[in-house]
A and B are shown apart, each in its own frame.
Chain A
Amino acid sequence: MTSDRDAMLVAACLRGDRSAFDELVNRYQHVLYHAAYSITGSVDDAMDVTQSAFLNAYEKLHTFDPAGRFFSWLYRIAVNQALNLVRRRRPAVDLDECLPGTERDPEQAADEAEVNRRLHHALMALEPEQRALVTLKHLEGLSYREIGALLEVSEQTVKSRLFSARRRLRSILAAEGVTP
């Protein structure tokens, strides 16, 4: 149903209706931002990536294949831009401290925030490609096949690289004295 609506909006946009694209922005800005933030670890970079992804998608909308899902296409643009950005900026950038808090009791919330902070730092220590894989799998909940389609690699490659990434993540946490 969402895909159908997206297809209608894309078609309307290609007929010159700019407001149709605004609806696509409203629909997907948060999920794109979250993915970009998870990969870049920076609020500013995530905003740049999200903005740039929408801009590129809009200007290249005529190249979008309507047989595919608009969201997958848009998401791939954003993930690739985020990866390109962090590859250019190696070593990994510092993590902006902006993880949202929770509404549970303060002590528990503090413990949880600390766990999240350490986990984020460990994620940021991964190679960008590994971080993208872990993000797409665990934070976005995508299947091997969906990740493979986004990154244009086979499912088997996703499986194998994801294993290496998670193994490395465990070793980083262990080296920091953090036992998951």
Chain B
Amino acid sequence: MSSERLEELLWLRADGTLNEEEREELAALLATHPDAHRVEREVEDLALQLSRLPRVAAPPELRDRIGRALAGARSPLPADTDRQVARLRPKTGWPGRLLPLAAGLVLGAAITQLLHLGTGPASDGSRAVGSMQATPLERPQEVDLGGDVGSVQLDPGNGTLAVELRLVGDARVTLALAAEAEEPRLVATGHSGGSECTVATEGGRVVLRARGPGLHRLWVDAPDAAQRLRLEVAIAGVGVVERWVEVGPSGGPP
């Protein structure tokens, strides 16, 4: 017990948080404990070595990766209505004075949809679309995988496809991106939650496998000549989505 207490007090001293009472207790232990000076030296040396561990510099490419990820990010504006407005905005941003007008339009559209279709918008405010259709994409668009599975959001542009796979259930989902000739290039990934998640390049495809509630993001560049990527999604090994996504030329208009 006194050995443990001795070490505890030595660490408190190394941290500079020893109070007067503890200081006296430590002095007594140092005077009487048979191993006191060895333990004291070891604690001091370890504290010194820890403080001297070099800082690891971030790789130069990190800044670019973060920039690319943010380019495909959702707007930080609060509330669902504002988020829908943000989705309608070009990435360069609308002047602030147009936001209320856009919010009104979105609200009107939502009400119209409720009146005409008799169904409400999806839980996150986005429009649900058929999962097997191969309609041309507008940016961004959501593919519903079912209420107990989740959704995929696609945001193509500038030769890059930003994919966000949002899972709400425990289904195992495989999402693959391929191009016609050359391999697509995985630019960046981001993950939050989920019990399983792997991203790999397999057989010329970028493949994300995920399971459990979580959010997974990929940014994938199409080969310059292709300007489009093939998206396939399977739930528990059963294909549910197959479509081509136009991503435009690299460096093209957003």
Contact = CB atoms under 8 A, between A and B. Distances in A.
Nearest to B92: A18
A25 B63 contact: yes
A3 interface: no
Contacts of A137: 15
A99 B54 contact: yes
A21 interface: yes
A163 interface: yes
Interface string A15-31: 11010011001100110
A80 B44 CA distance: 29
B31 interface: no
Given A54-B66, A169-B46, A180-B45, A102 B96 contact: no
Nearest to A155: B17
Given A16-B96, A170-B46, A47 B65 contact: yes
B19 interface: no
A129 interface: no
B21 to A, nearest CB: 15
A180 B69 contact: no
B105 interface: no
Contact of A138 (B45, B47, B75, B188): B47
Given A34-B55, A58-B76, A144 B17 contact: yes
Nearest to B72: A55
B238 interface: no
A70 interface: no
A119 B192 CA distance: 30
A120 B46 contact: no
Nearest to A61: B76
Contact of B62 (A50, A60, A120): A50
B42 interface: yes
B56 A34 contact: yes
Nearest to A50: B62
The size bracket of the interface on B is: 35 or more
Nearest to A162: B11
Contacts of A59: 73-76
B7 interface: yes
B70 A18 contact: yes
Interface string B178-208: 0000000000111111010000000000000
Contacts of A102: 54
A56 B46 contact: no
B42 A58 contact: no
A115 interface: yes
A6 B205 CA distance: 41
A81 B189 CA distance: 14
A1 to B, nearest CB: 23
Interface of A: 13-16, 18, 21-22, 25-26, 29-30, 33-34, 37-38, 43, 46-48, 50-52, 54-56, 58-63, 81, 84-85, 88, 98-100, 102, 112, 115-116, 119-120, 134, 137-139, 144, 159, 162-163, 166-167, 169-170, 173, 179-180
State the 10 A-B residue pairs at the shortest beta-carbon distance, nearest first.
A62-B78, A61-B76, A180-B46, A138-B50, A33-B58, A52-B190, A180-B45, A37-B56, A59-B74, A55-B69
19 contacts: A16-B94, A38-B56, A47-B62, A48-B189, A50-B66, A52-B192, A54-B66, A54-B69, A56-B192, A60-B76, A99-B54, A116-B52, A119-B49, A119-B53, A134-B50, A138-B51, A169-B46, A170-B7, A170-B43
